[in-house]
Amino acid sequence: MGAKGWFILKFLMFQGLFISPPQPQADFDFFYLVLQWPGAYCDTKRTCCYPTSGKPAADFGIHGLWPNYKDGSWPSNCDPDSEFDRSQISDLVSRLKRNWPTLACPSNDGFKFWEYEWGKHGTCSESVLSLHAYFDTTLRLKDQANLLQTLTDSGIKPDDGFYDLQKISDAIKDAIGFTPGIQCNKDPERNDQLHQIFLCVDTSGANFIECPILPRGRCPSQVQFAMF
Ligand code: AMP
């Protein structure tokens, strides 16, 4: 490159420093926002326990916000030294209790599940989201997704009825703009039921995007939407 070329390159780099604020560089490709139907988590051979605050609302709950790679693999437990400091999320606790309910046994107040998700997944997106931002962002995305409303508006209700998988997927795609990943599990009678919905989110945590890769779902063409 000649002197003129160098000058132009240096000028552009210098401008870049001042014009665009530095963006944090993510060391993963996208997030999965994983939302869970509590009726399906509980309606298995393993059963479940309600949180100490009582039975959660009949709504999708958050399972987690998971950094992922485009090839389908994902990082986990990225920073064992990171402390899960409850005081940093004290302003979010009532929303977490409502929207990110623990269903594990024995019953507990939910911190164990949130700490587990932070340690396994949240510490892998520390390059872009602090502890507080991780939980705040996840809560906001769950509201933005508004899944139950979208499904009931399309006549798909948690009434133990069986619904077309394609219709579930289309209803979500029409509302959010992107195809969801759908996972099923089996109830004790071996019926396949709607268990988790995966929505993809860009690395800033701000926008839903088309999934670079969909998770394996194990759903047949008709699935039950369990009562809760
Ligand atoms: P992950 O490792 O993030 O894929 O989460 C899987 C673990 O989370 C498993 O041990 C699940 O049993 C547990 N899990 C999933 N949903 C819930 C829930 N609503 N409450 C408590 N634990 C859960």
Q: How far is the CA of 93 from the centre of ligand 1 (A)?
A: 19
Q: Does 117 participate in catalysis according to the annotation?
A: yes
> Is the pLDDT reported for residue 19 higher than 80?
no
pLDDT one-digit tens code per residue, 48-57: 999 999 999 9
> Is the pLDDT reported for residue 18 higher than 70?
no
Report, as an integer, the average pLDDT of 133-144: 98
Q: How confident is the model at residue 4 (pLDDT cuts 50, 70, 90)?
A: low
Give the global pTM: 0.90
pLDDT the model gives residue 2: 56
Q: How far is the CA of 116 from the centre of ligand 1 (A)?
A: 9
Q: Does 63 participate in catalysis according to the annotation?
A: yes
Q: How confident is the model at residue 5 (pLDDT cuts 50, 70, 90)?
A: low
| Chain mean position to CA 139 | 9
Report, as an integer, the average pLDDT of 75-89: 97
- Stronger pLDDT, 8 or 39, i.e. the higher one: 39
From 35, 37, 41, 195, give the residue whose CB has the most ligand 1 atoms within 8 Å, as the site to mutate.
Answer: 41
Report, as an integer, the average pLDDT of 117-131: 98
Report, as an integer, the average pLDDT of 161-180: 98
Q: How confident is the model at residue 9 (pLDDT cuts 50, 70, 90)?
A: very low
pLDDT the model gives residue 20: 62
